Structure 1
Amino acid sequence: MKYVCALLSLLLFFSLGIRSAEAAVSNRPINWGFEKSRNHQSAEPGQPLRDLLKKHDAFYMGDPTQKYIYLTFDNGYENGYTASVLDVLKKRKVPAAFFVTGHYLLDQPQLVKRMAAEGHIVGNHSWHHPDLTKVSDERLRKELDSVRVKTEELTGYQGLNYLRPPRGVFSERVLSLSKELGYQPVFWSLAFVDWHTNAQKGWRYSYDQIMAQIHPGCILLLHTVSKDNAEALDQAIEDLTKQGYIFKSLDDLMIDRTFHQPFFYSL
């Protein structure tokens, strides 16, 4: 009997320890943001945010000493421009990552298939695009798993590795649970207001925003609902290439992080 009591006490001890550890992970909402890059200098989110991302192995940019650009798109719904974006990427031989929602998977299966077939990364942007800090652990798992299952069904693309929290809203809990579920959270170091479809300003606006904020190691976030982006992309890629920038994939970034950990983890 004393052994049973001891075992129960031990189990209770570990249970309380786990609960205590879980409670220590904050779910305070954080809106991703940073001081924009100027003159090709790195975007700066501040030390607290950099420390938090480092703690959970998330990232927002690559090596700031290398003129690499990682092109990413968020795809919540289709507005008629993704095909032309894919055409430009194919023409320029540029890899990209497309973070898709459940709506996009159901509404545009052929475009998702094309993304994968042409060698692009398909990333997880959650099924319903909720604020992940406001959903339970179980709901968060379901949001991500539903996208993974449907993407694999459409493309044969096994294992979505990358996650972008909807609207850039996250918490330490979201980062921790995402990592536990096998996802690499990916933020960004260059973005601008490009998603208002009824307030497009012409291709030059998108082009100028990209060229003004670009920097080595940049993770560039664009939305394919933007007519401006679709029309500016080809010229931006051409001119950035002339400046010596090289477009690489998030998989390349992960390899660089793996083999240059002391450098990356000092960021």
Structure 2
Amino acid sequence: MTRTKSLTIALAATVAAGVLTLATATASNAAALPPKPSDPGIPTSFDYRDCPQLPSGADPAAWRCEVMVANIRLATGRIPAVEVPLTVTHSEGPLPDGTTGQVFGAMHARSVAVPGIPGLRIQPEYAGHADFIGNGTIRGSIDIKLRLQYPGSRRTCAIGSDRAPLTVNSTAYGPTQWVSQQPPIIKGEMYDSTFAVPGVNGCGPIVDRLLDRGFALPSPAGRNQFSLVGYYSFRTHAELTGQA
């Protein structure tokens, strides 16, 4: 075993040990209604550069691009809750066959330090599927993975993957609130405490096992928390420069 590999494993073991130590003083993440993250505040502007191209035959005047600016709160396994600013962009509108279509644009989230665990950072990333049309009480669904960053970590090191993601199905805390008509700005608050969290992968076989043990992963449905407070706005594609 090389010196670099030994050092990486040692650092990962230190991170895992930090989680185990912290876990003795941390309450379970299971809860019927997760706490909300802090309010990010009403954005002064929305960035439409990630609006996707429309499907063939879609009417730019009938399709709108939506941009959400939010704070999310995540708590998984033994990992303490983290609050992450993020932006999500997608478009939706009628298809020629009369059904409603949607196209994902992008998700951008910051890398944030995990409280109480020196050297560990987490960054949520899109994992290949989203549905923001809503279905009954479910306001939206998105697959994510959690990039893990610590000294010596691999770029592929993450909780979950595109093949085995965290699938979050958001339910509203209450009704949405219009805070502005021009431009249109709507506030929404959502949560999910029913999703499961897969194990660590891409960090190296030994490190994967160390971190799974330290983080108590995989974590079954009902023992993890997601919540969101955000604001979204929209424009039709006909209104967007270069999209009409």
Structure ranking higher in strand proportion: 2
Q: Output the TM-score relative to the length of structure 1.
A: 0.26
Structure ranking higher in helix proportion: 1
Q: Output the TM-score relative to the length of structure 2.
A: 0.27
